[in-house]
Structure 1
Amino acid sequence: MFSIFKKKFFLQDLLEGAVDIHNHILPGIDDGASEIKDSLALIDKFGELGVKNFIATPHVMNDYYPNTPETINNALSKLKEALHNSGKNDINIKAAAEYMMDHSFMELMENEDLLCLNQNLVLVEMSYFQPPINLNEILFKLQTKKYKPVLAHPERYAYFHSKKLEKYHELKQRGCSFQLNILSLIGHYGSNIQEVALMLLDNDMIDFIGSDTHQLRHLEKLSTAKISEKRFNTLKPIIENTKHAFMPAFSS
């Protein structure tokens, strides 16, 4: 007799040795970790999940978080020093940024080098209320500057949902890679976002996985989350691809 219950797998079983390319663990510069102790607590919890490789991506938003390479690298240096003093010498960490594609982003591209995830891959995001009116111009400018945009959490932009995958295909054609928030798969941001996340996953549109961790509760959810065997097997190569693409960043 066949069981009517499908086997579930712990999501954290996929994370051993993974590279988290989207998180807010640098202290005191955005809406993530407030202090060094918060950063260390997050890294300890990540360690319980098997994750010890991090590309920290603090927000760069002109109006709210006007971070610069200097402020970001200063926070990184403080965290690295704290890790060393705590004997946590098995942690790989470097800094990039999550850039809001707002009115000041074009100026940033003109005036300074962007902090990339690796080589020329740059993490970008949009407002949750509406896309930039000059989105196509921004994407074109990025590519003329030899950057490759990685769009953070595409599943969370509700204004794209009504047209199903049409807008996502257009963004792909314009050279965007997609980074899925792993918490989207378990309904953390709501059922509509979960549905779109699964749709993007099932249509082979996701390139990379990240946690977008801001707080311990995000990691606590991951530590107990379960997914179907189908989702488990779909996610595994994407997590491996993320690791393959970004582990070299720690030796560059």
Structure 2
Amino acid sequence: MLHFFSKKLFLKDLLEDFVDIHNHILPGIDDGAKNIEESLYLVKKMNELGIKQFIPTPHIMQEFYPNTYDTIGNAYQILLGALNPKLFNNITLNPAAEYMLDSHFESLLERRGLFTLKKDYVLIEMSYFQAPLNLESILFKIKTKGYLPVLAHPERYTFYHKNLSYYKRLKQLGCFFQLNMLSLSDHYGKNVEKTASYLIEKQLIDFIGTDIHNERHIDKLSNLILNKKATEYLKQIIENTNRTFSVI
């Protein structure tokens, strides 16, 4: 997949056998794939980029996407049953979830009933408007319940952009950071791209994922050109993601 005759380095050149720990490819249960046809298209195109292992992470957000083991399991079985083994014989799918840090999450946490990425790693997210007032308390509870919190796309929380030092505080509290691939471009805006560069430069990122929702995301990922300055550390992040979450 390498572009030997190009001076540009494309992100897809680093994705051979990648384990994608954050995507929304399950059909019809959140703001990702709307139906099975779109799910199959996304899987096909992601596989063409080199992705072999998928951990679908539908939102669990009580007011908007009140998903459960049943709704996620049903969507997973629908996708699994629709995959043509002749076309998709080299991939694995293991569903998990992306949890909004709301009161419903705290009730699930009390029952220790979370759908994890692998072992005790749990993918969490916050509102883009503000962090929970009791964020540090929630992170402490997650840890005391035996889970390892993985904060999805920390670079996208704009309320931290003028307080970059707080990212280090979150790391001290035991938070792992998962970068969105499209944050390596201006897809979410220049400030998000700038913050992503800062987090990479300070070596605060642990894992990376696509956060794929639709065809437009695929097209942008396929053509994303990397900043050569950050490439070596980015390779380490990809390798760490694969090493931590591979089931093969």
- Which bracket does the TM-score occupy, shorter chain normalised? over 0.9
For residues 144 and 84 of structure 1, the distance between their equivalents in structure 2, rounded to whole angstroms, comes to 42
Match of 1:79, as an amino acid? L
Q: Which residue of 2 aligns with 1:48?
A: 48
Q: Which residue of 2 aligns with 1:4?
A: none
Report SS of the residue matched to 2:23. coil
For residues 86 and 153 of structure 1, the distance between their equivalents in structure 2, rounded to whole angstroms, comes to 34
Cα deviation 1:110-152 (Å, max 9, x = unaligned): 2352010010000000000000011111111111110010000
Task: Say whether the 8 Å CA contact 1:43–1:52 is kept in structure 2.
Answer: no
- What is the RMSD computed on CA atoms of the aligned residues? 1.4
Task: Say whether the 8 Å CA contact 1:11–1:232 is kept in structure 2.
Answer: no
For residues 67 and 111 of structure 1, the distance between their equivalents in structure 2, rounded to whole angstroms, comes to 16
Range that drifts further, 79-88 or 204-213: 79-88
Q: Which residue of 1 aligns with 2:67?
A: 67
1:106 corresponds to 2:106: yes
Count of residues paired in the alignment: 243
Q: Where in structure 2 are there 5+ consecutive unaligned residues?
A: 1-6
For residues 230 and 53 of structure 1, the distance between their equivalents in structure 2, rounded to whole angstroms, comes to 28
Q: Which residue of 2 aligns with 1:184?
A: 183
Task: Say whether the 8 Å CA contact 1:187–1:193 is kept in structure 2.
Answer: yes
For residues 111 and 143 of structure 1, the distance between their equivalents in structure 2, rounded to whole angstroms, comes to 14
1:86-105 equivalences in 2 (<5 Å): 87-105=87-105
Range that drifts further, 68-77 or 221-230: 221-230
Q: CA deviation at 1:229?
A: 2.0
For residues 184 and 85 of structure 2, the distance between their equivalents in structure 1, rounded to whole angstroms, comes to 36
Cα deviation 1:80-134 (Å, max 9, x = unaligned): 1111466422221010000000121110112352010010000000000000011
Q: Where in structure 1 are there 5+ consecutive unaligned residues?
A: 1-6
1:138 corresponds to 2:138: yes
Range that drifts further, 147-156 or 216-225: 216-225
Give 4+ residue runs of structure 1 displaced > 3 Å after superposition. 84-87
For residues 52 and 41 of structure 1, the distance between their equivalents in structure 2, rounded to whole angstroms, comes to 15
Identity, % of aligned positions: 54
Greater per-residue helix proportion = 1
Task: Say whether the 8 Å CA contact 1:161–1:196 is kept in structure 2.
Answer: yes
For residues 85 and 11 of structure 2, the distance between their equivalents in structure 1, rounded to whole angstroms, comes to 31
Task: Say whether the 8 Å CA contact 1:17–1:53 is kept in structure 2.
Answer: yes
Q: Which residue of 2 aligns with 1:202?
A: 201
Q: Which residue of 1 aligns with 2:154?
A: 154
For residues 99 and 157 of structure 1, the distance between their equivalents in structure 2, rounded to whole angstroms, comes to 15
Match of 2:214, as an amino acid? Q
